Structure 1
């Protein structure tokens, strides 16, 4: 399951969700989440408040 540590932008959440969904070559949810978070980080390196709060918990 994915979650955020704090409220975020709806636009960033939608972008993150799309990246997560399209991370087809990543076999696990944590790997897909890491891919999506890294991609957001690379696109907006000076704004960790937009990408650092996404996390994975569970199996």
Structure 2
């Protein structure tokens, strides 16, 4: 999913991705896929894929 064959993309429609980013950056207020996509592109740019891996791990660990 996240690796996407080496491409730097974000599956913003994925509920887990939306929950993780919303948790850490929007005070648990679940954002739309388009908002998540724009936020990630602006905030993480070329490191988007790598940041997403760590955000998902931290969210699943309850950090």
Q: Same fold (TM over 0.5)?
A: no
Higher relative contact order (CA 8 A, sep 6+): 1
Q: So what's the TM-score if we normalise by structure 2? A: 0.34
Q: Which has the higher helix share?
A: 2
Q: So what's the TM-score if we normalise by structure 1? A: 0.35
